[in-house]
């Protein structure tokens, strides 16, 4: 009997039978299918999608040009140029995010001291050409303006985890 057990264990037949059992269970299980354009699966409230730059309630952009998001980005997808203004504050002159490089990790959002850069829950967007994969400061500010109410409510719900 031990010879047969050793033979079965040596050739991995027990693992093969167990694997076939798992495959068989999932083969006859009820399928979960979504008709995508018409139906959508629910997203997590902490989903990380397209980036946006926020403004203060008085209309001034929040970004102070500290470049922490550029430094922390593991994919090197963020490019920032900043200069000092007449009143002594520093603001960005160029804020580009290359969405082809971005891995949507959220480090830029976590490192921002003024809560300027945020990842929205927008997951459906397209590009007309390869150059349009680089999102500029104006595009990011427009996204932030358009979805500010949605961004603010998501930040409020997520505040306990920050």
Which tens digits make up the pLDDT trace of 88-139?
889 999 999 999 999 999 999 999 999 999 999 888 888 887 777 899 999 9
Q: Are strands 51-53 and 117-119 parallel, antiparallel or unpaired?
A: antiparallel
Q: Is 52 buried (19+), middle (13-18) or exposed (0-12) by CB count in 10 A?
A: buried
Q: Is 98 buried (19+), middle (13-18) or exposed (0-12) by CB count in 10 A?
A: middle
Number of other residues whose CB lies within 10 A of the CB of residue 92:
19
Which tens digits make up the pLDDT trace of 2-48?
887 777 677 767 788 888 999 999 999 998 888 888 888 888 878 89
Nearest to 105 by CA among 97, 113, 94: 97
Which tens digits make up the pLDDT trace of 49-96?
999 999 999 999 999 999 999 999 999 999 999 999 888 889 999 999
Residue with tokens 């505040």: 159
0.85 exceeded by the pTM? Answer: no
């Amino acid at each position: 009997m031990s010879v047969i057990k050793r033979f079965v264990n040596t050739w991995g037949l027990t693992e093969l039978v167990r694997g076939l059992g798992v495959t068989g269970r999932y083969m006859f299980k009820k399928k979960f299918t979504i008709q995508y354009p018409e139906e959508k699966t629910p997203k997590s409230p902490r989903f990380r999608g397209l980036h946006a730059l926020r403004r203060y309630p008085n209309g001034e952009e929040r970004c102070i040009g500290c470049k922490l998001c550029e430094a922390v980005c593991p994919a090197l997808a963020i490019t920032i140029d900043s200069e000092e203004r007449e009143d002594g504050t520093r603001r960005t002159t160029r804020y580009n995010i290359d969405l082809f490089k971005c891995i949507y990790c959220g480090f830029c959002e976590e490192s921002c001291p003024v809560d300027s850069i945020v990842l929205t829950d927008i997951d459906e967007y397209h590009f007309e050409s390869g150059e349009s994969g680089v999102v500029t400061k104006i595009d990011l500010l427009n996204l932030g303006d358009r979805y500010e109410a949605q961004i603010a409510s998501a930040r409020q719900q997520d505040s306990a985890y920050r």
